[in-house]
Amino acid sequence: MRVLPPLAAFGLAAVAVLGLAGCTSTVDLDPAEAANDPQCAEITSNLPDTLSGQPRRWTDAQATGAWGEPTRVLLTCGVEPPGPTTLRCQSVAGVDWIVDDSDAPRFRITTFGRTPAVEIYLDTTADEDGNGASSRDVLDALSPIVSVLPVDGECLDRAEATPAP
């Protein structure tokens, strides 16, 4: 059996690592202010391997998730809970979500009445193969996971809301 000299073995290992690094699909994200909240750890440890047909990708920030290549869905736990808003609110599986569609077909969807809050960036644009993320699929899959967050408010119907002075 032939043994490589230590320097040659190190060189081969370095080439192998560099080769793998070039194939990485890690998504570069920033953690939210409250990313270290233990509730966020529970959320991210239960995220699905696929979401709306999109494979999960590694991220480099605590309490985050990403799916699709190119990325179609980004999740960040620990964002500042939103205050009252006139944006549309949608309840899915007992979780209220505020939907910002100002950049449609890309959406920012944030939990309402949950602390810490979870924010999702969703790109529903279909690629050349017809692959995009479905907001219904995404919210159906993530709402049961997010439902463990403590409830401290809920969306109100406009008729129930207190009018502004």
Residues of the chain with pLDDT under 70: 1-24, 128-130, 158-165
Give me the pLDDT at residue 3, please.
Answer: 46
Residue 127: alpha-carbon gap to chain centroid: 20
Contact (CB, 8 A) for 12 and 3: no
Q: What is the pTM of this model?
A: 0.80
Give me the pLDDT at residue 25, please.
Answer: 76
Give me the pLDDT at residue 1, please.
Answer: 43
Largest CA distance in the chain: 86
> How far apart (Å, rounded) are the C-alpha atoms in residues 77 and 31?
8
Give me the pLDDT at residue 125, please.
Answer: 87
Residue 110: alpha-carbon gap to chain centroid: 10
